[in-house]
Structure 1
Amino acid sequence: MDDPREPGFGSEELDPDAVLWVRGVDYVAGWREAKDAAAELADALTVAGIEATGVQARADASASGAGVVHLRLSAATVRDVAALVRDFATWRKAS
């Protein structure tokens, strides 16, 4: 997995010249929030034992400035995450 804690993780960095900016919208704060969220996901997947090489995450900001994380997952990783979610749901219902 590209390390979301590194500058420019994923295949693209935030390119200020490639987007239309609206005055008063804090896109950088949204992008930073997305970058932090992607790092949290990477850490959680590692703790859960899911192979991070099947995950690519790219931080972005929406038109309103909200943080957005674009994920690209291998099919094997999707299956691992699905199994983890099912296991958690079963555990949660039992408790």
Structure 2
Amino acid sequence: MDGIGDDGFDGEGLDPDAVLWVRGVDYLAGWRDATEAAAELGDALAAAGVDTTRTKLRAAAAADGSGVVRLELSTAVAREVAMRARVVTARWREVS
């Protein structure tokens, strides 16, 4: 949300909500919350055995000031995460 290259400056049209700040909206609180959530998600992915060196987690604030976490994965890592989620879900169903 800082400038060219960030969300809102993708060359396909400007998203005003991604770059304009509204007086009175606490973007910093949303960003802090997103930063904490991104760290938690990164820790959980690592604990699940996912190679987090090939992931990108970005904290941001939405137009309304709420926190947003963006997760970027290669297709290989996305498939790995999906497979691990399926395995864990199957185990939970067996226990229930």
TM-score category, normalised to shorter length: 0.7 to 0.9
Highest RCO, 1 vs 2 (Cα 8 Å, sep ≥ 6):
1
> How far is the alpha carbon of 1:21 from its aligned partner?
1.6
> How far is the alpha carbon of 1:88 from its aligned partner?
1.8
> How far is the alpha carbon of 1:45 from its aligned partner?
1.1
State how 1:47-86 maps to structure 2 within 5 Å: 47-86=47-86
> How far is the alpha carbon of 1:39 from its aligned partner?
0.4
* Gap regions ≥5 residues in structure 2: 7-17
Query: Given residue 47 of structure 1, which amino acid in structure 2 is its aligned partner?
Result: A
> How far is the alpha carbon of 1:19 from its aligned partner?
3.1
2:72 is paired with a residue whose SS is strand
Q: Report percent identity of matched pairs.
A: 54
Alignment partners' CA distance in 2, 1:49 and 1:85: 12
Listed one character per residue, the Cα deviations across residues 22-75 of structure 1 (whole Å, up to 9, x for unaligned) are 122111110111111110111111111110111011111111111011111011
TM-score, normalisation: structure 1: 0.75
1:24 is paired with a residue whose SS is coil
State how 1:1-95 maps to structure 2 within 5 Å: 19-94=19-94, 95=96
Alignment partners' CA distance in 1, 2:41 and 2:24: 29
TM-score, normalisation: structure 2: 0.74
Query: Given residue 30 of structure 2, which amino acid in structure 1 is its aligned partner?
Result: G
Q: Which residue of 2 aligns with 1:4?
A: none
* Gap regions ≥5 residues in structure 1: 1-10, 13-17
Alignment partners' CA distance in 1, 2:52 and 2:79: 13
User: C-alpha root-mean-square deviation of aligned residues, in Å?
Assistant: 1.8
